[in-house]
Structure formats: structure tokens, C-alpha cells
Amino acid sequence: MNLQTHPLAPAGMPPENVTMTLEEFLVSDVDGYEYVKGELIPMAAPSAEHGLVGSRVFIRLGNYVIANQLGEVVSAETGFQVGERVLKPDVAFVSTPRLPADLIKAFPVPPDLAVEVISPSEPFRKAVEKAFAYLEAGTRLVWVIEPGSKTVIVYRSETDITLLTREDTLTGEDVVEGFACQVAELFELPSG
């Protein structure tokens, strides 16, 4: 469904002021927005650094998951139903037993692992809210990557949170067993 023709979209109204049901959002062609309890929330514009860090996670995690036949790793813009939300993590892992048969629309389940890379224009508070929403919906592990400080915050629950620095190793714990990479590897950006 195109937002311009959505019956709830008054002429000239920005998409973020449009309300729709979860079912309408799941079958719509709305790009660049997440869905939170009836409202469209614009996604922060990613920087080049954001894209490079996200791709490093995607490549390392994806190669490991494929080599070990653990499930699937998807990139940004892939929607996941997370309670009353549809969120689009920068990278996500879904184990083989939890892969849905219908891949035409957003995943009807939250990912096993959600990865959010903080954009320069995104408030840190928003990333924390998303991490807690994933956990509440059943995601077992969330990585929030902050390129500015070159850190990764690992969320296992609202009270089990670990800060990793460039000197630490990021692991998949019991969610992506055996996966590990140095945090520093995620931030090795090309020099200009």
C-alpha cells in the first residue's frame, strides 16, 4: 500500500503523522520507517561510518552462520515483528528452527540476535529502548554498537548488560555458539 494513497493519509501530511494498524504496515511498501504501536517512526539517516560498521558485522556474522548452517543473517531494512512494533535492526540472526515459511513480509517473530548500530543523528536513548523492546519480545541477545566511542553494549536482559571496548572480544554466546571477533575489527575503517 502506498502511503500517498493510504486512506488515513491526509493530503500533504508527512508519513510519520499517518497512523495505521500493524496488519496494514506488514503488507505496505513503507521504506525508511519502523512501526511502533500505530505510528510510523522515521529511521535515522545512516552515515558512511554506520554503513561500514554494519557491513563488517553482517559479513563476519553471516559467513560464520552460513559455514555452520545455523540459520540466516539479514541486513538492514528487514522488518521483524517485535510485540506491537515492527523494527528493522541493522543486522539480525534467526536460527533455523525459527525461520518462518512465509518470507514475503516482515518476520513474524523477533530475531534471536538483533544488532543496532547507532547513527550520529540517533539519540542513544532510542537504541536502549529498542534493545529492551527486542528483549521483552523474546530476542535472546542484542548488540548496540556505538561507532563514536568504538564500543559494543551487549544486552542479555534489562539487568544483564556488558560494555565491550576495542580490547575485548565480541561473542555470540549461546545464541550464535562459537562466533567471536575482536571489537576493534568492527571499527577498522579505510583511511581517507
75 beta partners: 91
Bigger pLDDT: 41 or 109?
109
Sequence-distant (6+) residues with CB within 8 A of 155 are 131, 132, 134, 135, 141, 142, 143, 144, 161
Put the strands of the sheet holding 39-42 in their side by side order: 39-42, 33-36, 85-87, 80-82
Q: Closest Cα partner for 36 from 81, 75, 71? A: 81
DSSP summary character for residue 108: S
What is the distance in angstroms between the CA of the first residue and the CA of the last residue of the chain?
42
Give the pairing of strands 180-182 and 39-42. unpaired
Residue 160: HSE in the Cβ half-sphere, 13 Å Cα cutoff: 6
* Strand, helix or coil for residue 57: helix
> pLDDT tens digits, residue range 87-139?
999 999 999 999 988 888 789 999 999 999 998 888 889 899 999 999 999 99
Note the pLDDT of residue 191: 62
Percentage of the residues of the chain whose pLDDT score is greater than 70:
86
Tell me the backbone φ, ψ of residue 77, rounded to 5 degrees.
80, 0
Q: Distance between CA 165 and CA 106 in Å, rounded?
A: 33
Bigger pLDDT: 106 or 61?
61
94 beta partners: 72
